[in-house]
Homo-oligomer: A and B are copies of this chain.
Amino acid sequence: MSTIREVAKLAGVSPATVSRVMNGEVPVADDTRRRVEEAMQRLGYRPNSFARSLASNRSDCIGLVISHLAGPFMGTLMVNLEERLRLHQKSLLVASGHNELIREQESIDFLMSRRCDGLLVQSDRLHDDVLVALAAQIPLVVINRRVPGLESQCSYVDNQQGGYLATRHLIEQGHRHIACITGPRWKQDATQRLAGFHQAMEEAGLSVPEGAVVEGTWQESSGREAVDTLRRRGLPFTALAVGNDDMAIGAMLHLKELGLSVPEDVSLVGFDDEVYAHYVTPGLTSVHVPVDRMAQAASGRIMSLAYDAPWQGPLCFSTHLVERGTVAPPSSAHVTPC
């Protein structure tokens, strides 16, 4: 493996000049540049990234902490992040939080000890103030979450607007008795979606009876259980606004097992618009989340923070409703299906 010195020698210049040719900030005479480039070519020169980092104190790496790598839209997230970063010759160093607070913290420590130039963090568990403190130490962008006081470094989706959209759609179809299956309360996206539900109900002058909101775990199974819970509580409902697609599908399959049909007896709206949302019959109406745009914004923002790249654009994205087959007007016969 050849070094910058060998290239310099072959081109008849100093190592400094070779460095300048590579980094292209400082002006270099055309003739010199050509000679250096030719020499690099001839030797198949590859700059040593360790030496470069040591001298420049830059790693050209961006760290990514994901609370759960196998989660729903992590694939889409990573594709978009990786693509954008690589355009700028930056690498993506990935660490998983494995769904545990302590491991998320460890991941951050790990990536910091690797001296990443910036950090992208997708985490529900870390406290707001931990993130604020972190942002003071290193260029940071928070993904899929809004941290008060750090708005300009958070790329996220307007989950409340999504919840509102889903619920208003049900209301517009004539539903008055709408229950809600929400995600874990400690997750920001879950509570925001729930807030949107309440907002739409209130706006329509509809009351949300005690017990009409059931907390699930995001898992399909908890969607099934939530249906049982609602029935046990004896609450009448003709529609369900559900916090994500998995729970919605769980609820839907379970309703069918109970002999109720969707959307005739119960209408349903999911959230996330997963690829498999239309695998159920009828296809699940759901709220689409623009993960790709969120990821692109996050990478743009981290580039601007870590490398002063020019950047502008929104950091908060709104959702839209994808109508399939799980919503219909309530049949008057079924206003009280339980």
Q: Which parts of A273-317 form the interface with B (CB within 8 Å)?
A: 274, 276, 279-281
Residue in B47, B54, B93 whose beta carbon sits within 8 Å of that of A91 in the complex: B93
Across the interface, which residues of B come within 8 angstroms of A46, CB to CB? 112-113
Q: Are B79 and A75 in contact (CB under 8 A)?
A: no
Report Cα–Cα, A78/B79, bound state, in Å: 13
Min CB distance A71 to B, Å, is 7
**Which residues of chain B are within 8 angstroms of A68 by Cβ–Cβ distance?**
79
Q: CB distance A51 to B54 under 8 Å?
A: yes
Residue of B nearest to A68 (CB): B79
User: Which of A94-102, A190-198, A207-215 binds B?
Assistant: A94-102
A107's closest neighbor in chain B, by CB? B86
Closest to A57 in B: B50
A 38-63 contacts with B by CB, 8 A = 46-51, 53-54, 57, 59, 61
A75 CB contacts on chain B under 8 angstroms: 69-71, 74-75
A63 — nearest CB in chain B belongs to which residue?
B91
**A107-162 with Cβ < 8 A to chain B:** 110-115
Q: Which residues of chain B are within 8 angstroms of A113 by Cβ–Cβ distance?
A: 46-47, 49
Distance in Å: Cβ of A267 to nearest Cβ of chain B: 18
Out of B48, B74, B79, B253, name the residue touching A54 (CB < 8 Å). Answer: B48
Q: Which residues of B contact A54 (CB under 8 A)?
A: 48, 50-51, 54
Number of copies: 2
The minimal Cβ–Cβ distance linking A121 to chain B, given in whole angstroms, is 15
Is the CB of A170 closer than 8 A to any CB of chain B?
no
Residues of chain B with a CB closer than 8 A to A6's CB:
none
For the complex, is A83 an interface residue (Cβ under 8 Å from B)? yes
Is A268 close to B, CB under 8 A?
Answer: no
Question: Of B61, B82, B95, which one neighbours A82 at CB under 8 angstroms?
Answer: B95
CB distance from A326 to the nearest CB of B (A): 13
Q: Give chain B nearest CB distance to A247 CB in angstroms.
A: 12
- A253 to B249 CA separation, bound complex (whole angstroms): 16
Contact check, B70 vs A59: say whether CB atoms are below 8 A apart: no
| A256 touches B (CB below 8 Å) | yes
Cβ distance A79 to chain B, nearest Cβ, rounded Å: 4
Task: Looking at the assembled complex, report how far the CB atom of A152 sits from the nearest CB atom of chain B, in whole angstroms.
Answer: 27
Q: Kindly list chain B residues whose C-beta atoms are within 8 Å of the C-beta of A274.
A: 276
Q: What are 9 pairs between A and B in contact, CB < 8 Å?
A: A53-B53, A54-B54, A61-B93, A69-B78, A70-B75, A78-B94, A86-B95, A86-B110, A91-B111
Hey, which bits of chain A sit against chain B, CB under 8 A? 46-51, 53-54, 57, 59, 61, 68-71, 74-76, 78-79, 82-83, 86, 91-96, 98, 110-115, 220, 249, 253, 256, 274, 276, 279-281
Question: Which 10 pairs, one residue from A and one from B, show the smallest C-beta to C-beta distance?
Answer: A70-B75, A50-B54, A50-B53, A276-B276, A69-B79, A82-B96, A279-B279, A70-B79, A69-B78, A92-B94
